[in-house]
Structure 1
């Protein structure tokens, strides 16, 4: 009887706040639509629209650059205006972008839509993360971010398969984009309902006295030396991650879309299988140590993409790359929750998006290298990208040294 009771307890769903569960489920649906379309965009622009790799890289980089610029603003607005108003507005506008992709013809239209895609995504996501922290107790935050990342990667496994079946990347791309837009609009309706049922969640962060100005909040964030080390190091990590659906999609997708789709699915399935054991194992180490190890695996996986052309070895490279992804992004979100003061979490999560300037630069650099060196220079191209990734190491080491000497916000609050 005791064993049966223990088994039932292990199988029971985590006890998260209803708002947290809604965000996690909505994340799965939204990412299914996202991965059904965006990973194939580079292939679509090259094979259907006839654009060269450098132009494609510029278009994809525009999305990440616009997202980098908007992330801090979105997080700050959510601290001042409330989580739900910012999320609802961003998701509504984001849904319209996917309809635009289906009908765009000229390169300038794709540049504009790509910029809007990055802008609305990076307003929505840090706000959603901050709301998760708001409604989740400290001891459950790591678990809720694991669940969110799990949902992202289930969507990452399902989305490319659906996209391939629906013709994403080819001449029949209207349907995948339309379905994605419909999913996002349905998510908007859920958010509206949640905002009415949970008025206490996602409200404007009320601080004593006058609201903190944008300049003052930026000064607070960027004088946090531990956070600044994380931010700079994470820019190089984001550069590595960005190559999965930009440089690699062009490198493999120009003559083998199915291989790229298979590897993308391997990435998502690997996250599902490895996330829990890896994060559990790394709990005995500091967050910065886990980020450093993640950076190492990111770089090695990248190099494998250019070094190998056999499918099993490419799949192994994806698994190595995925280990880096899990350690860097799941634990990175937890780390921000640890170091951010309660009244400025949205701002910290928003500011963390500035690291994705590395992803923007990576997309641009990857396209430039492919255009300049050619598709037969994989080891050189991805070897250079690996070395750029490893530039994160000194910043993570410095952040770890600082963090061992400085109290974290929650310890300061308890001391007060």
Structure 2
């Protein structure tokens, strides 16, 4: 039974560094979520910073992360993945130490901006390294495992932070810093122990940042994928923003149940769903995921019972699984070897949609009122499924290519 349960992990095909990245992702996400979600409360209640300024401090991290991710990925193409990861981990650890000793508003602006920069450097580089080290037939599995680690860290981190009194003490920030320092030290060990020269950028073609931008902008399939993902990210934003506002503080218990349903559905469903969807092409999976995202969002507006809301959340979560896990794998398939970091970095622009989605959701609630859930969430669902034609255009473009070229856009088991 044990062997069957883990048969789809392809354990033997994962490089030791890939396992290290997955476990490190779990630890780093745990550290991140045990402190950063409570940063706003800490700044307002402990440092006595006014709410508007606190909101601006929190927002600067997402702004910097969105618009600097390309550079982090591109740098890893030029100087190597492990040195970039090492730099980001040690700098991130110093940032968390800075949160414990900062006193002035400008310091917290700078620290949270640097936090966003570290995230934008680390994320695309780690994903590119996973692709470098993993055979194509196992990439879905490795990104599946990575997404599992992300959600485990996201589930455990806030609980640990809450138990440590994250909104009142700096202890969680110190622990988070130690985790990042340990992760950075681990990358030094990897670099000494494992010969990754065949996967490093030292043997790859060196390309300037401007040339990277030009090459990526000419990749039509990636352009369609990125445009579609902007709308997908906008749809995902409604889980944390529009839905929370719609339910209101008097239904916080209901929202907690739905949030738990999301986390539990990811942990329970992601492996069987991804295993089943391997028989289809990545772009087909993305189209299905987009429709399920839309169905779940509509469900939030028309459901008036707990059971129906849970069903809507399960549909929403399946869409999330398909779009984010398959999307990560697809980038690795379509990106040239010497530009993988840049491609993963450029994909960070999708989070423009997350900011826009939260903003549009608030506008619609204000315009139509909280009693018009069907209208509000139907409009939001339509905006989300705008991603579908972009994925379809990309799919048609792949089908129009020669068979040899198509191989770069599909998994070994995928079928156009």
TM-score normalised by the chain length of structure 2: 0.83
Secondary structure in structure 1 of the residue aligned to 2:76: helix
The range that moved more, 260-269 or 391-400, is 260-269
Q: Is the 8 A contact 2:89 2:181 kept in 1?
A: yes
Superposed, 1:187-206 pairs within 5 Å as 187-201=183-197, 203-206=200-203
Structure 2 residue 225 is matched with structure 1 residue 230: yes
Change (3 A) 1:260 1:389: same
Q: Distance in 2 between matches of 1:252 and 1:95?
A: 37
Q: Unpaired runs of 5+ in structure 1?
A: none
Change (3 A) 1:6 1:153: closer
Q: Distance in 1 between matches of 2:202 and 2:217?
A: 20
Equivalent in 103, 127, 133 of residue 129 of structure 1: 127
Per-residue CA deviations over 1:119-138 (Å, capped at 9, x if unaligned) read 21121011001111111122
Structure 2 residue 155 is matched with structure 1 residue 157: yes
Structure 2 residue 182 is matched with structure 1 residue 186: yes
Aligned to 1:82: 80
Secondary structure in structure 2 of the residue aligned to 1:172: coil
Q: Is the 8 A contact 1:101 1:177 kept in 2?
A: yes
Q: Is the 8 A contact 2:10 2:141 kept in 1?
A: no
Per-residue CA deviations over 1:150-193 (Å, capped at 9, x if unaligned) read 2112223322333343345xx43633333333322221121221
Aligned to 1:91: 89
Aligned to 2:207: 212
Superposed, 1:264-275 pairs within 5 Å as 264-275=259-270
Q: Distance in 1 between matches of 2:295 and 2:55?
A: 22
Aligned to 1:140: 138
Q: CA deviation at 1:373?
A: 7.2
Q: Unpaired runs of 5+ in structure 2?
A: 410-416
Q: Is the 8 A contact 2:292 2:316 kept in 1?
A: yes
Q: Is the 8 A contact 1:59 1:111 kept in 2?
A: yes
Equivalent in 237, 245, 249 of residue 242 of structure 1: 237
Q: CA RMSD in A?
A: 3.6
The range that moved more, 172-181 or 398-407, is 172-181
Q: Distance in 1 between matches of 2:218 and 2:368?
A: 41
Q: Distance in 2 between matches of 1:255 and 1:173?
A: 28
Q: Distance in 2 between matches of 1:338 and 1:269?
A: 29
Q: Distance in 2 between matches of 1:150 and 1:365?
A: 30
Q: Distance in 1 between matches of 2:86 and 2:68?
A: 16
Q: Is the 8 A contact 1:63 1:116 kept in 2?
A: yes
The range that moved more, 219-228 or 337-346, is 337-346
Give the paired residue count.
Answer: 405
TM-score normalised by the chain length of structure 1: 0.83
Secondary structure in structure 2 of the residue aligned to 1:243: helix
Per-residue CA deviations over 1:372-395 (Å, capped at 9, x if unaligned) read 777666555544432321221221
Q: Is the 8 A contact 2:44 2:50 kept in 1?
A: yes
Equivalent in 327, 342, 349 of residue 354 of structure 1: 349
Q: Is the 8 A contact 1:146 1:276 kept in 2?
A: yes
Superposed, 1:43-62 pairs within 5 Å as 61-62=59-60
Q: Is the 8 A contact 2:71 2:345 kept in 1?
A: yes
Per-residue CA deviations over 1:81-108 (Å, capped at 9, x if unaligned) read 1001111111222234445556778776
Secondary structure in structure 1 of the residue aligned to 2:239: coil
Per-residue CA deviations over 1:318-372 (Å, capped at 9, x if unaligned) read 3222111100011011111211112211111111112222123234444566677
Q: CA deviation at 1:239?
A: 1.7
